[in-house]
């Protein structure tokens, strides 16, 4: 079938640019600044300039942050209903100006107008509508929470306006103000949206836009007046931001790259799977972080599937993005085009290029590469272009192994007519989002985000709103707590006792062969504890990895074992209370009772921290499932030797994680007594591992270990910067105290906050209907 051109008019967009003389300053404190240090924003389809925008400096960022800081208290004090009204107005105005926004987005980005008009803009409006509802409900549904303050948002060029909505809507709904830096290549729709926000009556300073390149973004990330950074972009930049914000107490969410698997089983509707694949990899020219760029096809149907796919590729139309008949538009910039070309040219696979005309300029044809091994660079590295790589598999188990053979974990797609197979495979995939018999399904109600080097945090849903809130109230500074000093003449009573480490369900001597004496306040020698080192951490992590089957145990089973641990601790309550008193000089009775109660709390939560079925506007359901993080490493509180360790351990294992715990440094003997309780409570070997030693020495190998998925620190030694910086190796999640105290006997020391940190939300989309 021949398609004639159906061009969309860009007259209104050009008129808007002309009204601004094709020159833009920043949008700060409710108005545009005078243009400065201008650079070109070009149409990638034509290479022609659209406008000149300002290169943001440190001074520009200072002004924007100051404006946001001035506006934030008043914005936060507004009644929730009033904030909801503003968000509702932004949603309505987005709809009223939808065509102008869509056309400008296509001109600035190069994506087909059908995508801007029919996908991006409706989702932008949906996010503001949805978050208007969250703003209305948050005070009653999330009592005791308050906004973070000023949020810095740095967004990419592939979905300029949609990424703005993902960041701005939840931040404003929660009562924060925003300084946003759009991508250098695609700043124009952010500036148009800022102008539209004035039509909504949005108070001055609530939303600020500072344009510029990576240096502008770095200045925003580093600014001491910013309380939270929300970043979407490349994994390499995400790692740099993690290191730059380490120890700063800034909240951080990262939505980064991916190499998402697209799995086709032999019973799939192959024609539907091909159509889904077109959307998965050639939507937005493959410039999508969750693009289904790794095709895994079951061996028996691979030849047929590839033949169908090639025929479909030949029918794709490439050209002017403003033509409504076009399937694949322009690559965003010649720099990105050169990157795609270089990666494909270096590949040793069998390349198939779509037999379709390719215009001159910043365009790249749809390409399929087969014959690669799992270790081939193109099977591992994100190309971020219209390039698909493919392998075959024989069994479902092999499909899962190949799918998870990546450092990323953003999204995955499963095609099969067997619902049992689909729901068996989905939980096994290491991805934050899994689509069944569909792809690229998004909604404001359904959390989106990744695992591993695809980042952490979720965009959308209640889970996304939590990232812009914190518990109300101020916390006291946490003072370092030292061990009892060695007396001039120690009192030694009874047999010598050396507590070992606890690794893989067994007591183990420390690798280094060193130990520390532990004294009572009165100078009695209570015993010795081993000094763990990085090799002990390694051994403990290996044991924790080997025990990951714990996450597949039923929640009921985990609850029973936690109850059993509490029962066995209760039987030895007097002994543990006496040990606490011997170490600290204070009565330990209340701490033991609180520890037993806390075990009961998490035994109760083990089968009650439910997921949710999200109300998404499709024929289907989006299941938000709380999955264990994996292996959690934790530096336990010094000031509550038994209660602190249990307060960290219990939520972690209740949710199916395994853990490596470094107990109280000055008072470690309660932890080494406690592993005797674990040995008699049916807890599988390796689920809990305990390494004693100096927190400052063990923090770095713990946080830097590539097989640990999350690190928590409640140590009285301020190790937050070390942990957050080291975590950038594989972008593991962190939860650190930044030297702020926590009352381990108070309600704030248990409950949903701990459970949220012990889990990751996986959204599984299951459409239905013929």
Measured torsion, CA atoms of residues 530, 534, 535, 540, in degrees rounded to the nearest 10: 80
Tokens 């939590």 locate to 466
CB 628 within 8 A of CB 758: yes
Tokens 């215009």 locate to 359
CB 24 within 8 A of CB 53: yes
Query: How far apart are alpha carbons 193 and 563 in whole angstroms?
Result: 54
The DSSP result for 397-454, as a single string, is HHHHHHHT-SS--SEEEEE-S-HHHHHHHGGGS--SEEEES------TTS-B--SGGG
The DSSP result for 569-583, as a single string, is HHHTHHHHHHHHHHH
Residue 391, both tokens: 């392998």
**Of 769, 766, 770, nearest in space to 415 by CA:** 766
- The verdict on whether 724 is a catalytic residue reads no
- DSSP secondary structure code for residue 332 in this structure: S
Residues in the chain: 770
HSE-CB at 588 with a 13 A cutoff on CA atoms is: 25
Side-by-side strand order, sheet with 658-662: 506-508, 501-503, 688-690, 658-662, 631-635, 710-713, 733-736
Instruction: List 524's β-bridge partners, or say none.
Output: 491
Residue 468, both tokens: 């812009």
**Of 712, 726, 736, 733, nearest in space to 627 by CA:** 733
Query: How far apart are alpha carbons 701 and 498 in whole angstroms?
Result: 24
Query: How far apart are alpha carbons 56 and 228 in whole angstroms?
Result: 19
Three-state DSSP state, 394: coil
- The verdict on whether 255 is a catalytic residue reads yes
Distances (CA, A) of 738 to 238, 646, 647, 704, 735: 21, 21, 18, 18, 9
Q: What is the 3-state secondary structure (H, E, C) of 258-271?
A: CCCEEEECCCCCHH
Query: How far apart are alpha carbons 204 and 195 in whole angstroms?
Result: 12
Please identify which of the residues 151, 289, 290, 629 carries the catalytic annotation: 289
Query: How far apart are alpha carbons 662 and 99 in whole angstroms?
Result: 57
Please identify which of the residues 8, 184, 255, 726 carries the catalytic annotation: 255
Burial of 513 (0-12, 13-18, 19+ CB in 10 A): exposed
- Catalytic site positions: 255, 289
């Amino acid at each position: 079938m021949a398609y004639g051109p159906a061009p969309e008019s860009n007259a209104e967009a050009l008129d808007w640019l002309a009204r601004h003389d094709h020159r833009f300053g920043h949008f700060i404190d409710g108005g545009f600044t005078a243009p400065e240090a201008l650079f070109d924003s070009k149409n990638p389809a034509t290479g022609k300039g659209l406008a000149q925008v300002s290169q943001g400096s440190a001074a520009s960022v200072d002004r924007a942050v100051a404006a946001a800081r001035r506006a934030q208290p008043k914005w936060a004090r507004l009644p929730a209903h009033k904030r909801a009204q503003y968000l509702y107005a932004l949603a309505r105005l987005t709809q009223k100006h939808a065509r102008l926004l869509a056309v400008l987005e296509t001109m600035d980005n190069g994506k087909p107008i059908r995508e801007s008009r029919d996908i991006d803009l409706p989702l932008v409006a949906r996010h503001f509508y949805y978050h208007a509802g969250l703003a209305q409900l948050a005070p009653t549904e999330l009592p005791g929470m308050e906004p973070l303050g000023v949020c810095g948002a740095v967004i990419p060029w592939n979905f300029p306006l949609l990424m703005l909505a993902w960041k701005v809507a939840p931040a404003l709904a929660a009562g924060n103000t925003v300084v946003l830096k759009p991508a250098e290549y695609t700043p124009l729709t952010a500036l148009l949206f800022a102008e539209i926000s004035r039509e909504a009556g949005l108070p001055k300073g609530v939303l600020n836009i500072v344009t510029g390149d990576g240096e502008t973004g770095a200045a925003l990330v580093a600014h001491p007046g910013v309380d939270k950074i929300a970043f979407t972009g490349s994994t390499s930049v995400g790692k740099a931001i993690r290191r730059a914000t380490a120890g700063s107490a800034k909240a951080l969410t990262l939505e980064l790259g991916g190499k998402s698997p697209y799995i086709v089983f032999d019973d799939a509707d192959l024609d539907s799977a091909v159509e889904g694949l077109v959307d998965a990899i050639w939507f937005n020219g493959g410039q999508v972080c969750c693009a289904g760029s790794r095709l895994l096809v079951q061996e028996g149907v691979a030849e047929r599937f590839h033949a169908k796919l090639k025929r479909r590729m030949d029918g794709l139309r490439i050209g002017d993005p403003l033509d409504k008949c076009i399937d694949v538009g322009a690559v965003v910039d010649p720099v990105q085009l050169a990157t795609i070309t270089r990666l494909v040219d270096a590949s040793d696979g069998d390349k198939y290029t779509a037999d379709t005309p390719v215009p001159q300029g910043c365009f790249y044809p749809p390409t399929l590469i087969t014959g690669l091994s799992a270790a081939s660079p193109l099977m591992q590295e994100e190309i971020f272009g219209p390039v698909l790589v493919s392998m075959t598999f024989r069994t479902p188990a092999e499909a899962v192994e190949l799918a998870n053979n990546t450092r990323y974990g953003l999204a995955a797609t499963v095609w099969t007519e067997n619902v049992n197979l689909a729901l068996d495979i989905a939980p096994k995939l290491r991805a934050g989002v899994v689509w069944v018999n569909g792809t690229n399904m998004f909604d404001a109600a359904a959390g989106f985000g990744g695992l591993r080097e695809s980042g952490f945090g979720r965009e959308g849903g209640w889970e996304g709103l939590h990232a812009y809130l914190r518990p109300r109230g101020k916390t006291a500074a946490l003072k370092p707590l030292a061990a009892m000093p060695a007396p001039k003449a120690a009192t030694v009573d009874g047999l010598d006792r050396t507590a070992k480490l606890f690794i893989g369900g067994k007591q183990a001597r420390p690798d280094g062969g060193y130990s520390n004496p532990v004294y009572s306040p009165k100078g009695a020698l209570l015993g010795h504890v081993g000094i763990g080192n990085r090799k002990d951490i390694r051994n403990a992590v290996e044991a924790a990895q080997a025990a990951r089957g714990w996450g597949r145990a039923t929640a009921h089973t985990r609850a029973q074992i936690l109850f059993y641990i509490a029962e066995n601790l209760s039987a030895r309550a007097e002994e543990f209370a006496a040990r606490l008193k011997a170490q600290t000089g204070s009565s330990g009775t209340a701490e033991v009772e609180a520890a037993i109660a806390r075990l009961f709390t998490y035994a109760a939560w083990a089968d009650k921290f439910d997921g949710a079925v999200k109300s998404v506007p499709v024929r289907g359901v989006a299941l938000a499932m709380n999955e264990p993080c994996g292996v959690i490493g934790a530096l336990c509180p010094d000031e509550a030797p038994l209660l602190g360790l249990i307060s960290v351990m219990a939520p972690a294992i209740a949710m199916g994680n395994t853990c490596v715990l470094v107990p109280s440094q000055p008072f470690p003997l309660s932890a080494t007594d406690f592993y005797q309780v674990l040995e008699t409570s049916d807890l599988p070997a390796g689920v809990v591992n305990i390494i004693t030693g100096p927190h400052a020495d063990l923090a770095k190998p713990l946080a830097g270990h590539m097989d640990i998925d999350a690190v928590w620190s409640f140590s009285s030694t301020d190790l937050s910067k070390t942990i957050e910086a080291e975590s950038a190796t594989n972008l593991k999640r962190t939860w650190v105290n930044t030297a702020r105290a926590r009352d381990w006997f108070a309600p704030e020391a248990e409950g949903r906050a701990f459970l949220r940190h012990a889990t990751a939300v996986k959204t599984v989309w299951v459409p239905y209907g013929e």
